[in-house]
């Protein structure tokens, strides 16, 4: 990634979109819209001082909305380019309010609220489509209750929870527990404020609030206006503190998630959504289970799947190692439903097809191995490029020329063509580079010289 | 005739295509929709089957 | 010790990184401290040393202050060392007279709450960096020419694809095939899944293209017997029927394929009524005997066992494809596939799988603890999902045996000094990120020699390996950072070869010299990892810019 940023032959146009493509192999005219970052790329050093001071907190898309970032942000800490970006949907200044704190903080003078989108024209000999994929939205499967049960997460969300750079610093805190902790934090702030208010009364009257309140409830001081206020404020305070204490007590019992369920083929191998197999999810779940076990050796994982497709180099061995050393149990069966259980524990209802029995089991967390879905923008992009898509909206290729699209001079690699894992994507990326290089190095002469 | 290449998408596939071509001496324009390249792989904590870091 | 004749003048640039460093460390103190260090002639604090302004300050100071060493105390060399090095070069200073000190990651980031301790640590690091920099020596990048000719070993679909791609790019290709005919497995296979294209005609088309290409020299019934040298400059011996050819080669692609396990002693294998999928391909090509009405296929025959723990990836799709072909030739036939997991990964395979079910192919999951029993004319199997023992009539039993590593893979691995894995397949540079490279520069990998691959994957890898191999060819030369191992003390070297055995990049060899056996560093192959230098008990080897003297100076400076 780093090499891309500093390679003299790579013109990196991040935060940009393809607008228009004209021409043909050897001579495509491409219009690219460079979206305004409101930060000048050549001045921003990526130091991050601006985001320290920015007052606007925004859900962090890189962390799948589980963490927070600021309205001025870098996509992720090691991102290339490291140039920061202002999110115009949240930025106070760009929303017409008074702010500009980032501009004042930036010692490089990189913030520019007047920046506009720019349109650049490129002339290229060939195009490689590496547009990737989207994570299937599991809320489309109502029986899995992804949007209702806090502790049912997608594999990529779980990835962020496992990551030291993620929202929990790599601790396997359950989303439901994190929500309660966030509530505690908010209530503590509120309690602090109300504590200050009643402390003033206590000083004024030289009496502890609790003592005063018990006499007040017995009917004393009814005519004292000030003391009535005190009673009112104290009552409000109790209404904050009492549930807060209860929550705190509950939170004392919070531990990292230890009993994990992984559900395979969520949205894939499913006629309602995508009938294909996404190829990498079995291994992804096994890896997450192994890493979770590294985080906490008492962690146990159950992987529910039809076939466990460990089809790459070293994969089957990895699967077996997971079973032997990382407390992974593989259950053959398709999960029918996920229900709400006690303590925010999801309950998995499934058929164990080997024992031919319907069973249910309670877990701390359930991780959904979601399908590799065609990326949303691909339809529009394919239209602009004039290339065909297959029945599922992946870019169409043929097995004997695996990176050639339906249009000469345009090639595809990675998950834009079909679901695949990293080494296959990398191998295909080199294949697409080879096909493109044939055009770059030979251009029109190629048609005579090339054979097959 | 242009000898430049356009790569659309800055995930692992787009990065690898770009690097191969750039190393061959070809000028590459790499267009990414998001503020930084890295794609899905940058979101991964570690990768199977070696448990190496993803970034 | 610094060269006495040289007047060492070190410039130290301390970066604030906005507030990223300056917010947590006492920068004034760091600047003042740097001025007190030996040989330091100039100190400057910058808001951002990496900004255009900061870079200009470095260049200006090199010229105006006659600096001959530069130290930047800022962020990580991972991102910024190349920039600072090239800035030094632009100002006329050898770029290897530059040293970087990381006071961001190691001080301001990890000691955010400990300003004084963090500042003290930054002083230590700067002192160490300055001490080392005084001993730095200029280095010149190493440039070596590349012979514009590729050797492709193996003329299966992966090898032919690589050869054609490189030849179409205008490079000379030498294609070496052990068999008489090009095409490898394609010569045996009936149809190519999932498109059911005819394998023979596809092979024919490719073979013709290869043979008629003016840039490709084909040697059949030949093998590579010697490969001396390194990236760009290999001297290769090819043993052919008409004698040994000696050819200069720049890059090598290993596409030697795999072979199907012959299941001797398994499931009553006899090659007639109990056959392999490859033998089934031949039967299907000829047209299936009319008397065959009941076919049972057994997956993972000899695969996913203790001895061969890996899943061979493509046997399930081969079985499904052949089952469909049997159904096509004899629609009345019954075909059952006994499996453990149906590995029909991806879009096309899963489609084929569904299609086969619609055509009436029966799938029965068996338990490896209780494997099927092949009898004369039938197969007994415990259907683990129904919990039933079943007796299936079988006129033909087809065993899906795994692809195993190619005969001679080990010899090839020794010849090219590239590793193979536990299962005998060639081991790539990185299983995730460098699937088609070896750790050794100049040697590349494609197809089933790496791991079982279907036609789509083999073609993709063939093209991909060509892309990777074409990089040094298109440059015409290899430029290597001079931070590499050197034989600093030739007399001390006893030629024991310990370092040669440990070098992960094949960059060392023992040569006979007038003084006896001595190690020789192949400079363009060396990555400067330092394994050899740290292993050499004679301290004969050293790494440029990380010499014993330089590292000792850092340690001594720390202990001051």
pLDDT in tens, C476-488: 999 888 999 999 9
- Best mutation target among A400, A404, A419, A449 (most C Cβ atoms within 10 Å) is A400
CA angle A333, A339, A343 (to 5 degrees): 120
Provide the 10 A C-beta neighbour count for residue C427: 18
Q: Is the pLDDT of residue A383 over 70?
A: yes
Q: Are C444 and C468 a contacting pair, CB within 8 Å?
A: yes
| Distance, first Cα to last Cα, chain B | 36
Q: Is the pLDDT of residue A147 over 80?
A: yes
pLDDT score of C168: 95
CA angle C433, C436, C439 (to 5 degrees): 75
pLDDT score of C28: 97
Calculate what percentage of chain A has a pLDDT beyond 90.
Answer: 86
pLDDT confidence tier of residue C383, bands split at 50, 70 and 90:
very high
pLDDT score of A450: 44
pLDDT score of B55: 56
pLDDT score of A452: 40
Compare CB distances from A422 to B20, B29, B41 and report the shortest one's residue.
B41
pLDDT score of B53: 67
Query: CB burial class (10 A; 0-12, 13-18, 19+) of residue C530?
Result: middle
Q: At what angle do helices B12-23 and C455-475 cross, to 10 degrees?
A: 40
Fold of C262-401: FAD/NAD(P)-binding domain (3.50.50)
Please state which CATH class domain C149-259+404-478 belongs to: alpha beta
B36 or A448: whose pLDDT is higher? B36
When mean pLDDT is compared over A206-215, A245-254, A424-433, the highest value belongs to A424-433
pLDDT confidence tier of residue C398, bands split at 50, 70 and 90:
very high
Tell me: the pLDDT tens digits for A346-373?
Answer: 999 999 998 999 999 999 999 999 999 9
Q: Is the pLDDT of residue C290 over 50?
A: yes
Say if C149-259+404-478 and C481-544 have the same CATH topology.
no
* Domain C481-544, second-level architecture: 2-Layer Sandwich (3.30)
pTM: 0.90
Q: How many CA atoms lie within 13 A of C385 on its CB side?
A: 14
- For the segment(s) C10-139, the CATH number from 3.40.50, 1.10.10, 2.40.50, 3.40.630 is 3.40.50
What mean pLDDT comes out for the span A78-87?
Answer: 90
pLDDT confidence tier of residue C1, bands split at 50, 70 and 90:
very low
Tell me: the pLDDT tens digits for A193-242?
Answer: 999 999 999 999 999 999 999 999 998 888 889 999 999 999 999 999 99
**Minimal CA separation from A132 to chain B, in Å:** 7
pLDDT confidence tier of residue A165, bands split at 50, 70 and 90:
confident
What mean pLDDT comes out for the span A26-55?
Answer: 93
**Minimal CA separation from B33 to chain C, in Å:** 23
| Ramachandran region, residue C410 (left: φ > 0; alpha: ψ -120 to 50; beta: rest) | alpha
Residues of chain A in contact with residue C304, where contact means CB-CB under 8 angstroms, are: 316
Where does A276-345 show beta strands of DSSP type E? Answer: 300-305, 328-332, 335-340
pLDDT score of A1: 67
Q: Is the pLDDT of residue A449 over 70?
A: no
Q: At what angle do helices C455-475 and C157-168 cross, to 10 degrees?
A: 40
**What ipTM was estimated for this complex?**
0.95
What mean pLDDT comes out for the span C250-256?
Answer: 98
Q: Is the pLDDT of residue A303 over 70?
A: yes
Calculate what percentage of chain C has a pLDDT beyond 70.
Answer: 99
CA dihedral A383, B20, B47, A172 (to 10 degrees): -70
- DSSP designation for C217: E
Tell me: the pLDDT tens digits for C314-347?
Answer: 999 999 999 999 999 999 999 999 999 999 999 9
The helix or strand, by DSSP H or E, that contains position C127, with its residue range, turns out to be helix C115-133
**Whole-angstrom distance, CA of residue A340 vs CA of residue A35:** 43
What mean pLDDT comes out for the span A311-316?
Answer: 95
| Ramachandran region, residue A269 (left: φ > 0; alpha: ψ -120 to 50; beta: rest) | left
Contacting B residues, span 7-46, partner chain C, CB-CB under 8 Å: 12, 20, 23-25
**pLDDT mean across residues, chain A:** 93
Tell me: the pLDDT tens digits for C441-476?
Answer: 999 999 999 999 999 999 999 999 999 999 999 999
Query: Is C460's Cβ below 8 Å from some Cβ in A?
Result: yes
pLDDT score of A446: 43
Tokens of residue C220, six digits? 């059949």
pLDDT confidence tier of residue C560, bands split at 50, 70 and 90:
confident
The helix or strand, by DSSP H or E, that contains position A433, with its residue range, turns out to be helix A422-442
Tell me: the pLDDT tens digits for C193-237?
Answer: 899 999 999 999 999 999 999 999 999 999 999 999 999 999 999
Tell me: the pLDDT tens digits for A251-289?
Answer: 999 999 999 999 999 999 999 999 999 999 999 999 999
Contacting B residues, span 19-48, partner chain A, CB-CB under 8 Å: 19-48
Compare CB distances from B52 to C432, C474, C475 and report the shortest one's residue.
C432
What mean pLDDT comes out for the span A333-354?
Answer: 96
Q: Is the pLDDT of residue A451 over 80?
A: no
Domain boundaries, chain C: 10-139, 149-259+404-478, 262-401, 481-544
Query: Which of these, C315, C274, C309, C310, lies nearest to C292 by C-alpha position?
Result: C274
Query: Is B52's Cβ below 8 Å from some Cβ in A?
Result: no
| Distance, first Cα to last Cα, chain A | 34
What mean pLDDT comes out for the span A74-103?
Answer: 93
Tell me: the pLDDT tens digits for C8-52?
Answer: 999 999 999 888 899 899 999 999 999 999 999 999 999 889 888
Q: Is the pLDDT of residue C127 over 80?
A: yes
| Ramachandran region, residue A436 (left: φ > 0; alpha: ψ -120 to 50; beta: rest) | alpha
* CA closest to B25 among chain A residues: A9
Interchain proximity B19–A3, CB inside 8 Å? yes
């Amino acid at each position: 990634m780093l090499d891309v940023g500093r390679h003299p032959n790579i013109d990196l146009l991040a935060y940009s979109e393809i607008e228009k493509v004209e021409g043909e192999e050897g001579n495509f005219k491409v219009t690219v819209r460079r979206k305004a970052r409101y930060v000048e790329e050549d001045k921003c050093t990526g130091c991050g001082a601006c985001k320290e001071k920015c007052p606007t907190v925004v859900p962090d898309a890189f962390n799948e909305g589980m963490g927070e970032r600021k309205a001025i942000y870098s996509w992720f800490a090691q991102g290339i380019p490291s140039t920061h970006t202002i999110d115009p949907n949240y930025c106070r200044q760009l929303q017409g309010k008074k702010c500009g704190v980032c501009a004042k903080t930036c010692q490089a003078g990189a913030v520019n609220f007047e920046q506009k989108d720019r349109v650049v024209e490129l002339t290229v000999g060939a195009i490689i489509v590496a547009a990737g994929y989207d994570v299937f939205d599991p809320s489309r499967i109502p029986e899995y209750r992804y949007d209702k049960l806090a502790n049912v997460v997608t594999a990529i969300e779980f990835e962020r929870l496992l990551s030291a750079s993620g929202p929990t610093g790599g601790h396997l805190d359950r989303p439901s527990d994190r929500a309660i902790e966030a509530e505690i934090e908010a209530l503590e702030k509120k309690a602090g404020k109300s504590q200050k208010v009643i402390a003033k009364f206590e000083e004024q009257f030289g009496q502890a609030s609790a003592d005063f309140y018990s006499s007040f409830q017995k009917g004393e001081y009814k005519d004292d206006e000030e003391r009535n206020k005190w009673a009112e404020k104290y009552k409000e305070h109790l209404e904050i503190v009492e549930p807060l204490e209860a929550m705190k007590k509950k939170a004392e019992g919070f531990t990292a998630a230890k009993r994990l369920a992984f559900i395979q083929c969520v949205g894939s191998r499913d006629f309602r959504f995508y009938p294909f197999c996404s190829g990498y999810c079995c291994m992804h779940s096994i890896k997450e289970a192994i890493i979770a076990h590294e985080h906490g050796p008492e962690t146990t994982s159950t992987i529910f799947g039809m076939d466990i497709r460990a089809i790459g180099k070293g994969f089957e061995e990895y699967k077996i190692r997971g079973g032997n050393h990382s407390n992974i149990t593989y259950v053959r069966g398709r999960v029918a439903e996920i229900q709400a259980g006690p303590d925010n524990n999801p309950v998995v209802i499934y058929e164990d097809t080997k024992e031919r029995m319907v069973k249910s089991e309670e877990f701390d967390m359930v991780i959904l191995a979601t399908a590799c879905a065609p990326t949303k923008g691909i339809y529009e992009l394919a239209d602009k490029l004039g290339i065909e898509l297959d029945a599922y909206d992946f870019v169409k290729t043929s097995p004997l020329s695996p990176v050639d699209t339906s249009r000469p001079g345009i090639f595809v690699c990675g998950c834009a063509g079909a679901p695949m894992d990293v080494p296959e994507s990398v191998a295909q990326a080199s294949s697409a580079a080879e096909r493109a290089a044939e055009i770059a190095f030979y251009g029109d002469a190629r048609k005579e010289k090339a054979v097959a | 005739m242009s000898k430049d290449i356009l790569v659309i998408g800055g995930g692992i596939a787009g990065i690898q295509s770009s690097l191969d071509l750039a190393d061959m001496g070809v000028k590459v324009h790499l267009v990414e929709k998001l503020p930084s390249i890295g794609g899905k792989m940058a979101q991964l904590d570690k990768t199977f089957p070696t448990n190496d870091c993803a970034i | 010790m610094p060269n006495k004749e040289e007047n060492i003048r070190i410039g130290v640039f301390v970066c604030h990184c906005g507030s990223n460093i300056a917010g947590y460390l006492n920068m004034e103190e760091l600047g003042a401290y740097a001025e007190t260090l030996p040989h330091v002639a100039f100190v400057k604090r910058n808001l951002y040393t990496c900004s255009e302004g900061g870079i200009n300050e470095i260049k200006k100071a090199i010229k105006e202050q006659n600096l001959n060493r530069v130290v930047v105390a800022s962020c990580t060399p991972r991102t910024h060392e190349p920039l600072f090095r090239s800035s030094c070069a632009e100002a006329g200073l050898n770029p290897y007279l530059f040293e970087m000190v990381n006071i961001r990651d190691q001080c301001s980031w990890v000691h955010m709450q400990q300003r004084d301790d963090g500042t003290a640590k930054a002083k230590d690091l700067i002192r160490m960096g300055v001490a080392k920099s005084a001993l730095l020596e200029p280095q010149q990048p190493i440039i070596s020419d590349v012979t514009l000719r590729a050797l492709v070993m193996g003329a299966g679909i992966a090898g032919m694809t690589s050869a054609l791609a490189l030849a179409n790019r205008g490079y000379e290709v030498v294609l070496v095939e052990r068999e008489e005919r090009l095409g490898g497995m394609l010569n045996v296979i009936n149809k190519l899944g999932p498109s059911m294209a005819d394998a023979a005609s596809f092979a024919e088309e490719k073979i013709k293209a290869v043979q008629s290409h003016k840039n490709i020299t084909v040697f059949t019934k030949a093998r590579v017997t010697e490969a001396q040298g390194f990236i760009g400059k290999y001297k290769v011996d090819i043993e052919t029927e008409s004698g040994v050819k000696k050819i200069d080669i720049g890059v090598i692609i290993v596409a030697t394929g795999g072979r199907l396990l012959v299941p001797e002693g398994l499931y009553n294998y006899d090659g007639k009524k109990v056959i392999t999928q490859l033998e089934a391909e031949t039967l299907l090509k000829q047209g299936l005997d009319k008397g065959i009405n009941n076919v049972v296929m057994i997956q993972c025959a000899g695969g996913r066992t203790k001895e061969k723990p890996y899943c061979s990836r493509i046997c399930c799709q081969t079985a499904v494809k052949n089952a469909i072909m049997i159904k096509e030739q004899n629609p009345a036939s019954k075909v059952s596939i006994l499996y453990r997991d149906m590995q029909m990964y991806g879009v096309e395979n899963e489609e084929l799988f569904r299609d086969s079910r619609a055509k009436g192919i029966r799938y029965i999951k068996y338990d490896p603890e209780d494997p099927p029993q092949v009898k004369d004319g039938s197969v007994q199997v415990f259907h683990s999902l129904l919990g039933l023992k079943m007796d299936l009539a079988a006129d033909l039993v087809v065993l899906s045996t795994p692809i195993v590593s190619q005969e001679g893979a080990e010899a090839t691995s020794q010849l090219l000094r590239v590793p193979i894995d536990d299962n005998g397949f060639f081991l790539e540079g990185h299983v995730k990120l460098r699937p088609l490279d070896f750790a050794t520069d100049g040697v590349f990998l494609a197809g089933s020699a790496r791991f079982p691959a279907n036609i789509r994957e083999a073609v993709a890898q063939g093209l991909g390996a060509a892309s990777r191999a074409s990089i040094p060819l298109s440059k015409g030369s290899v430029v290597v950072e001079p931070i590499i191992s050197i034989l600093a003390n030739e007399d001390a070297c006893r030629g024991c070869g310990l370092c040669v055995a440990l070098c992960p990049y094949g960059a060392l060899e023992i040569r006979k010299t007038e003084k006896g056996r001595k190690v020789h560093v192949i400079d363009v192959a060396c990555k400067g990892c330092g394994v050899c230098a740290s292993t050499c008990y004679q301290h004969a080897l050293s790494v440029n810019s990380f010499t014993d003297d330089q590292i000792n100076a850092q340690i001594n400076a720390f202990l001051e």
